[in-house]
Amino acid sequence: MAAASLADGPRWASGFPHIEPFPRPLNDPSLTQEQRWVLFELWISDYYEHPDSASHLIEGLALLWLDDSPVDKLPTFRRMMPEEIASVSSPSVLWNYEILVRNAAPSMFADHMRRALFDKANAAIWPGVKVKYVQCSESLWEMLTVLWETEKLYEDACKENGGPPGRTIEFHLMDIALTGISRKGSLNYLRN
């Protein structure tokens, strides 16, 4: 394996705290499971108009998705047939298991992320395997901030250690939508 690619990771999965005033609509306890699923589909698969996502500034990031998406930017889930959605997703995970995972201490996720990326002993397990963070510039605000904050942690760790403290990590902010990663590690994408 030449590289492991990460895309669309939520803040909590890396142990990063929530940023106010950004919304967390999936945490609304008044929503039914079915309403949460419909919201989840938009939340993760729609496009967001950020004025300058390359700036690494949270000011100005779009809080919510496009209300009237142009045809070429319909949310991914809205372009898929019900059978396709069923083959790649599981509402029961969102309803039954994610709540359990989210109740774990953020420090546990932060520790796991840092050991996976910045620990020399862990990097020695598969030497030479890079990590590639890949993010579409029109993804949800949360995903962009994970890319930026992880990149900052990596830069700081490299300065402190005179080079990568564990794995070599690449960060890619793309103006295209990532649709998957092939078995050979090449990125599959659609232009925005």
pLDDT at 183 over 50: no
In terms of residue numbers, what domain contains 65? Answer: 3-191
Mean pLDDT of 69-86: 83
The single residue listed with the structure tokens 């993760």 is: 44
Q: pLDDT > 90: what percent of the chain?
A: 29
Q: Give the tens place of pLDDT for each residue, 101-152.
A: 877 888 999 999 999 999 999 999 988 899 999 888 888 888 899 999 999 9
Which pTM was predicted?
0.83
- Split into its structural domains, the chain has a count of 1
CA distances from 166 to 109, 115, 116, 124 (A): 17, 8, 8, 8
Split at pLDDT 50, 70, 90, the class of 185 is very low
CA distances from 109 to 94, 175, 185 (A): 18, 29, 25
